[in-house]
Amino acid sequence: MKMAQKEGYRARAVYKLSEIDEEDHLIKVGMTIVDLGSAPGSWSQYARNRLTELGKSNPKIESGKPDGTIIAIDILPMEDIADVSFIQGDFREDEGLKALEALLPVGANGKVDLVLSDMAPNLSGVGVADAARMAFLAEIALDFALAHLKPEGALLIKCFNGSGYSQIVESFKKVFKNVASKKPKASRARSSEIFLLGRNLKSPK
């Protein structure tokens, strides 16, 4: 956490995303990115910084500004981040979803390139209950992605490797052509935390 704070990030979770991004080239120039359950905001910070770095090569982008759009949403409050549109609300509710959709760029038919979700339930220590809570969060992120991603888009979510994980992987495989599990070095070795990446939506049958 000290390193994250020193580098201006709000949580060490940023390093998990940065590792996955460096390996899989998730964030690209001009993207529209949605960060679900964004508070305290380190993933949005990273996305903003990455798009700003990419924007340096575009003379049309103002210096220090990101070449892309970042929209963050959480039921919890989050301190402002420059160039990130934040909605305090629930994307499962009409009000929160409409507020989010209103911020999507018009040119892409309201579709998103990348959905990020570092959401995790408050763990009780009761395996079955925790697995059900995690599966629910995965399901709502998947539902959102299915409705809002471009065909070549991607979804990255946090999971826990244990009871219920294989079912989450199977649900991803029904939706995405490419599915991969990620265990970044920044994630503690003893932790069951694992990230699931889905890319390229399958055509609806």
**Catalytic residue numbers?**
158
Query: Cα–Cα distances in Å, from 199 out to 14, 114, 164, 170, 180?
Result: 21, 9, 21, 14, 9
The 3-class SS string of the chain reads CHHHHHCCCCCCHHHHHHHHHHHHCCCCCCEEEEEECCCCCHHHHHHHHHHHHHHCCCCCCCCCCCCEEEEEEECCCCCCCCCEEEEECCCCCHHHHHHHHCCCCHHHCCCEEEEEECCCCCCCCCHHHHHHHHHHHHHHHHHHHHHHEEEEEEEEEEEECCCCHHHHHHHHHHHEEEEEEECCCCCCCCCCEEEEEEEEECCCC
CA 8/CA 177 separation, integer angstroms: 36
